Amino acid sequence: MSNVFECARNAYQAIGVDVEQAFARLDAIPVSVQCWQADDVAGFESSAGLDGGIAVTGNYPGRARNGDELRADFDFARKMIPGALRLNLHAIYAETNGRKVERDELQPEHFSRFADWAAERGMGLDFNPTYFSHPMAATGFTLSSPDAAVRDFWVRHGIACRKIGEAFGKQLGKCCITNFWIPDGYKDTPVDRVAPRERLIESLDRIFAVDIDRNCDRDAVECKLFGIGSESYVTGSHEFYMNYALSRKQMVCLDAGHFHPTETIADKIGSLLLFFPELLLHVSRGVRWDSDHVVVLNDDLKAIAREVVRGGCEDRVHVGLDYFDASINRLAAWIIGARSMKAALLMALLEPAAAMAADETAGDYTARLAMQEELKMMPFGAIWAEYCRRHDTPEDIAWLKEVRTYEKEVLANR
Ligand code: RNT
Ligand code: ZN
């Protein structure tokens, strides 16, 4: 324990914050890291390019090309990120021994290598059906397609994925969150905005009608404002899914990059928690038209983290990351985003939240503003460094040197 840390801890003590308690709470918040940052959302299925209105730019060398490489990369990245992690998988990461297995025929066995690996590490897994990069999604419509055969195929895929999620939960003893995002939408102004949504309700109802053990798998639906090629209309809009999820007792997934540019998901968290028992977050960073830049410790992220921990909602909010950047070292992208997320949560846990709320209730907005400003000057860096040390992870940018070595020794040979 360093002197610097002790001084910092005393400074927090002086404003009524117990650092050890903050550490303990942070330990209990796993962050679910998206596997798809490792390989530009390519997956192992085929060489067909990424579509669905999402795009990865950059060609940094060394992307993971198979499950072994992806798992090795994640094992390396984990050593640089303090605290509990989960891995978030997508259906296109099935390992089928070179056999073609259609998406509506996927089974838990196609993910058993990931599941066994996660079990050895005491780590939870999350899951996503993949409704893009597939001939059956070529029209831009899947679960809301006017073609019944297309809908049927994707309904079967959704059911198969829920069963895989259930198998993960059962094996790992940690409930899997299976998240449904579909790209469906129109480039140009539609005439009928309702019919695709009616079809989507019907498809989702069929998927969720299948009985799954809720202790092993629970499901979320993710809205989006627009995508590339679906600028004018997205079937799965915010209002659609919010009401769908509420009426069907499913979870909503809020992706930080899926709303109007000045809209933040931070303000939505508390409102939704009044009506939903739990929520899923896709923490991301929108930049102009793109929704998927690497997460950094900006005001938006800090605001999201505060809403998760204020009022002690961290056990009701599942924190996942969602971004993909191939223009920088992909492991560094993982590490930067996940460390930033953890740091934002720790920062939020280091606020005298109850006292600040009491000032607010008493109408003392002067004290409220003064404390908000004071918090910005607190010696957070020393507390973060200590948290990293206690988890045997680099306390500073020393992690980058390790990434460089891994880049030379492993990534360069791919
Ligand atoms: C796309 C959604 C979705 C995807 C992943 C790969 O806009 O955010 O969550 O990023 O499923
Ligand atoms: Zn997302």
> For the segment 295-343, what is each residue's pLDDT rounded down to a tens digit?
999 999 999 999 999 989 999 999 999 999 999 999 999 999 999 999 9
> Residue of the nearest CA to atom 11 in ligand 1?
181
Of all ligands present, the nearest one to the C-alpha of 36 is 1
Q: Please give the distance, rounded to the nearest whole angstrom, from the Cα atom of residue 7 to the centre of ligand 2.
A: 40
Quote the domain boundaries for residue 232.
Answer: 30-349
What's the whole-model pTM score? 0.98
Residue 391: CB atoms within 10 Å = 17
- The answer to whether position 401 is within a domain reads no
Helix axes 148-172, 112-120, angle to 10 degrees: 30
Answer yes or no: is 408 within a domain.
no
Determine, yes or no, domain membership for 12. Answer: no
Nearest ligand to the CA of 184 is 1
Ligand 2 centre to CA of 116 (Å) is: 26
The enclosing domain of 278 has a CATH number of: 3.20.20.150
Q: Is residue 276 part of a domain?
A: yes
Provide the domain count of the chain. 1
Residues 89, 114: contact at Cβ < 8 Å? yes
Q: How far is the CA of 5 from the centre of ligand 2 (A)?
A: 36
Most informative mutation of 89, 126, 181, 318 for ligand 1 (most atoms within 8 A of CB) = 181
From the CA of 267, how far away is ligand 2's center (Å)?
18
Ligand 1-lining residues (CB < 6 angstroms):
36, 41, 54, 128, 181, 222, 224, 255, 282, 291, 322
pLDDT in tens, 6-56: 999 999 999 999 999 999 999 999 999 999 999 999 999 977 789 999 999
> Average model confidence (pLDDT) for the chain?
97
Q: For residue 203, is pLDDT > 80?
A: yes
Residue 364 lies in a domain: no
Residue 209: inside a domain, yes or no? yes
What residues are labeled active site? 181, 222, 224, 255, 258, 282, 290, 292, 322
Q: For residue 42, is it within any domain?
A: yes
Phi, psi of 281 (to 5 degrees): -110, 140
Q: Does any domain span residue 398?
A: no
